[in-house]
Every structure is written in C-alpha cells, then in structure tokens.
A and B are shown apart, each in its own frame.
Chain A
Amino acid sequence: MTVQELPGDAAYRPTPPPAWQPRTDPGPLLPDPEPYRVLGTDAAAAVDQELLLRLYAELVRGRRYNAQATALTKQGRLAVYPSSTGQEACEVAAAMALEERDWLFPSYRDTLAAVARGLDPVQALTLLRGDWHTGYDPHEHRIAPLCTPLATQLPHAVGLAHAARLKGDDVVALAMVGDGGTSEGDFHEALNFAAVWQAPAVFLVQNNGFAISVPLAKQTAAPSLAHKAVGYGMPGRLVDGNDAAAVHQVLTEAVERARRGGGPTLIEAVTYRMDAHTNADDATRYRGESEVDVWRAHDPILLLERELTRRGLLDDRVRNAAAEAAETMAAALREQMNADPVLDPMDLFTHVYAERTGQLREQAAQLTAELDAAADAEGEAR
C-alpha cells in the first residue's frame, strides 16, 4: 500500500515488524548512576586480605615507577613520559584481573598495567626512550604493543578475542582507553563489533578528567561514558577508579563473564590524572590547584591504607616492605636506563618485510657503505 492509498486523513502509523522491537532490554545494561565503591563501605569487609595487601604493594610500586620514569625524562633518558600517577588503582587492578592466558591491549599511558602484568620495567619504556617502538615480544606476556594512536587498539582486542573464541580457547582480551579516546570512530566500531560477535572482550575507560587539556564536558554529552554501552547492547559499569578493590571486583566480574561466553562489557573508571598529561605539558593552563587538592584527598593509596589500617593490616613492616620493593625496582630501573642502549643501525632494514625487497637491499648496502666510511674517517682522525 502506498501512502496515497491511505484512507482519508488517517495518520500513517506503521506497526513495527518484529525486527524493529528492541533486541535487548536496555534496563539491565544501564550503569548505576553512582560509581561503584568498595573501600569505605560495608562491602570492604568481604574483600580478601591477601588481595588487599597485593593491591597495596603494587600501587606503591606503581607510584614509584611513575616518579622514577618522570625523573628519567628530566635527565634526558626518556623522550617523554605520560604518567599515571593517581590512576594506579586502575592500572594495577586491570592487570590483576587477567589470567596468564589473557591479553592486555594498553594505550601509551598504561605502562604500569604492563609492568604489573609482569613485563620488565625497562622493556616497557623502550618506546618512550626511543630505541625501538616496542621493546618486548607481545606474545611473551600477551601484551599488545603500547598504542599511541587513540582507540585503534580496541578493534585489535576484539579481533583477538573473537579469534581465540573461534579456536575454542577461553581467552579474554582487555583493552584500555582514555576518556578522549571514546570520541574516536574506532571506539565505536570496536564496541559494535564486540557486541555483535559477543566477543570475550572487556573495555576499560580510564576517565581521568582530561584529554590533554580538554575536559570531559567538551568531549561528550552522554550521561556517563559507561552509558554508551547500552547503545551497543552490552552492559556498562561505572566504578570509582581510585578504589582498587572496587576496580578489581568490577573487572574480575567482567572478565569472568566474558570467559563464560557472556559477551563484552564497557567499564568506566572515574579517576584523576594528578600529573600533567606528560612531562612536556603545563597543566596549570587548564586546571586549578584546588581541583587537584580534592582528588589528593581521594588518592588511591590513601583509600587502601585506610582500609588496611581499619583491619589492623598496615603496620610498619608492611609499609616498609612495600616501600623497599618499590625502591629496589626504581634503583634497578635507574641504573639500567642510565646505560646507553646498544643499537644496530642495520636493524632499520630487518623488520620491514619477512624478506628484504630489492629496494631495501640497495638501501642497506648504502647505509653499510656510509657507516664504513664514517668508521674509516674516525680511524684516520685518531
């Protein structure tokens, strides 16, 4: 029936065919409006004390790592460092929610998650030192290369999780992204693919308030970033990103759900970037100290210390052990980063293709000749 054939002035109101009905009841997918908390609530009592102590040691080590890496930029040992100070609870809990066979897809800020997952602290910094883009074999710890273009690692995580499921492996992929990254098209495409394929992927957005200088309010008009999940047909969870116990719990649930075949989850962890975007950024241009002070009182280490104290678990021995382990790590990092890496210029041509093309063979010969000439000249000068 065409519109013209409609009787009289009856309004044209088609009855939606079944395919137009919502496929999923959005109610259960909606995040709670308040970020989920454990520390400082009754739920804290149920958290395993071993877990709390492990989280504590990792947070302290992580904070020290951030401080040491930032110091290395001042000495010119790192080209740049995007610190995750203030966000350690997200980093550490994310890594700890994964099993060994799972994969982590970090962004450039997530060195700490990679280190907490067992990656060598020096290898994690190769990208930022500048000797090679990825300093580790991704397969060894199942950590994808630290990703610099925003959100582009998210579809990789979905593809890997999908492939694992096709092969019958119960592997989960966890992908981390910043609040700014959620505006990128790849964020959308990754979430959509994950939901359509029911891929065992978990997306963790660290909403640290800013994308370089741009605050969240200029990034999105959504009620929260977790709310975006509903549109894709996956659950959204909102969690206090400074509450290590809460982040660990929410992530563990999402990972387990994915492993069981329950599909993907989008988690927004509300946290705060205490340092500037990187050492090269001047944060005073876009935010005031009073704002930072509010978050200082909500520091992830402080929150955890309070709970440990309440339970009588935080004595000098625990404090000192954590501080000492962190100091040992920092000293080793300092020492190793102070040695100049030994680089082979011919590596430039080694990993472009499985086999060198004719063009690359010619160019390698050219560089060899240049290096030989330079060595000869140096020999003569001596």
Chain B
Amino acid sequence: MTTITRKQQNPTAHLTPEDIEALGAELDAIRQEVLDSRGERDSAYIRKVVDVQRKLELGSRAVLLFSALPPAWLVGTAGLSVAKILENMEIGHNVMHGQWDWMRDPKIHSTTWEWDNASPSEGWKHSHNQIHHTYTNIVGKDNDLGYGIMRVDEDQRWHPRYLVQPMWNFINACIFEYGIAAYDLDLGRNLRKPKGDRAAGMKDPEFQRRAKQTLAKIRKQATKDYVVHPLLSAPTGSLLPTMAANAVANVVRNLWSHSVIMCGHFPEGVETFELASIPEKETRGEWYLRQMLGSANISGSKAMHLMTGNLSHQIEHHLFPDLPSNRYAEVAPKVQAVFEKYDLNYCSRPLVPQVYSAWHKVFRLSLPNGWMETTNKRNLPSQLKLLYKLATGDRKTRRVLTRALEMKAKAQREYAAAA
C-alpha cells in the first residue's frame, strides 16, 4: 500500500470535484432514507440483543459455577466468549457511536454507556469516534493504522525492529483490550518521546486523570473475572477452572475483535492518505470518498454480521457511523451501487481471505520494500543473507541496499508486464 497521492494510478483521478459532490449527495440521500424509516423495529432489535446478551452471560456464568466438570467448562466458556463478543461489538461499540441515541433511552445512550473492556468508554470515544473516524486512514494522524507500533505503509521507512512486527501483532491480538487501553491513553506516543518530555507528559494532570480512570476500570474488570466469579465457584471446587474460563473468554474476544478490526482498514486494496493531500476544509463529498476508499468489508452470513457488530459492513459504518447497525446490511447494496457508478473499488471478501490479506501485509511490510517480491525458492539463501546485512548494517548500508532492492523489484515488475 502506498498513500493514494503517491500511486502511479490514483483511483480517484477520474472524478471531477462535481462528481465528488454528487456522490456525497447520493450517500446523504441513502442516510436520510434510513433516518426517515427508523423506528420501533430498530429499537426492538437493540433491546433484544441487549436482553439476549445479558441472559447469555448470566447463564454462562451460572454454568461456570460448576466448571470443574469438563462439559460445564466447555459450554460456559463458549457461552461467555460469545456474550463478551456481542457485548463489545454489536452493543458497546455501536451504542458509544450514538447509533441508538435517537431512542432517548438514558440506559442505551452514548453518554452513559460503559462496556466490558479494559478501556473506559470516555477515552475510547475520544480516540475511536473522534480521532479514528475523523482522520480515517491518514498516515501519521489515524493511530488505528498500525496502532503506532507497526509499519503499515511502504512509505514508512523500514527499520530492523519491524522484522518482529508479526509477533507484536499476534501478542497485541491476544491482549487486544489492554492494547486499546494503552492506545486510548496515547501511551505509545508518550513512551517514544525523549526522556524529559516523557516525564512531563506523564505528569500532565489530564494524562494522570485518564490513566487513573483506566487503572480503576482494569481493576474492576479483573476483579470480576479473576476474583469474584472464581470465588463464587470455589464451593464446587471450580475456582481455577472458572478463572481459566474467564481468561480464555477474554482472549477469544480479543483475538476475534482484533481480526475483525484488522479487516476493516488493513487488507490489500484499501487506500491510505497523506495529511498534506487533505484539503483544510474537506467537503462532505471528499470526506465520504476517503471513507469509501479507506475501509473494507467482510462478506458472510447474518451470524457473521452480528458477531462482528456489523463491522463486517465497515464501509457502510464509516460512511454512516451513527446509523443503527442493524440497517447497514440493507443499505450495503445501495452503497455498492454508488461505488460502481463512480467506478471505485468496493473492497469486500469473506473473513478468511480478508484476515489472510491483512496478515500478509503485516508480514510483507515487516520486510524491506521489494524483498518479498524479489525472493523465490532458488535465491532464498542469498536473499536471507541480504536481509541479515540489512538488519545489521548501519543506516547508510540499509539505504543503499533497500534502494537496490526496490530497483530490482521494479525491473522485475516491468519485465513481467512486458511479457
């Protein structure tokens, strides 16, 4: 992936400013249609999901009181995992987007909702709703791109530490909720600052307040999963099995939400943008266009959409973040028709290829530009030697070798194109 402005073929070059505004008007009309028909069936939907989720969680936790018995452990852990996924994805994420604020129910409202996650809703609403949804896929501005710890773009200069980024990505997936909490606190950015600034940043009263809030939230969550419920299970000898079940459910939820979120903006075919290329006063049409090209969907069954919190309709979600999630499926064909009309790429694949594509990119970008392209079975030993040199050499060596690699890959591409 290369930012859209540096691409040889800009996928938006064929659109005139008038086209972009017309496209914006068409999307506004789709949004308005949903607003006009929003009503009882939608509110009944979210109330039902909330009710089912609560009963599923309660039931699973009740079964886990007897988790010393292996079948109870399996059933309870599976139920709790599903309940936690529903709670975070279809309920928490969407309620905090204000998708259900129109119901005027103070219990299901973006200003009052708190979720089963390490990050308090207040911080998450800032980093996710405000930063990520406003600056979607702008390199250096949207921290969701690589969460600040990964190389996600060819234009980011390669450094040997990126070699381990697949491992980082996997560890982050396992502890994703804590990763998000750290990310909401901008902890990574703070830690990368020079020592003096870092200390000042850590002492900032606003940072301290948010850090305290996050720690309190984590303590509450951990007390529930690793103290209270195991103790409640202790009379049946199920203390440790319950503790393990809760840990497994949290990891399952983390791996799942990490996968879904990777599919939203990472797969091949999704565009990124340079801050300098975004007009100061971005029009509604231009903003829509950036959301369209910066997101990717997961195709699949109704169950898949529910379990992803309808983030499988990431494109529709990014265009209309405040529309009720249960309506994304029905607007998707209309949105896709707009993509086709304006000759744009609607990036949608089933879960497995989409996750593969995202991971493939993580691996590819962990290596210097051109290395993967120029490597085949025969030259593997020499390429590995080259990689070793790149990883251990000084900055100048690295620059020279990377440049040579890029030239070689380019020549190879031109040769293939000619053939």
Say whether A associates with B: no
Chain B positions near chain A (C-beta within 8 angstroms): none
Chain A positions near chain B (C-beta within 8 angstroms): none
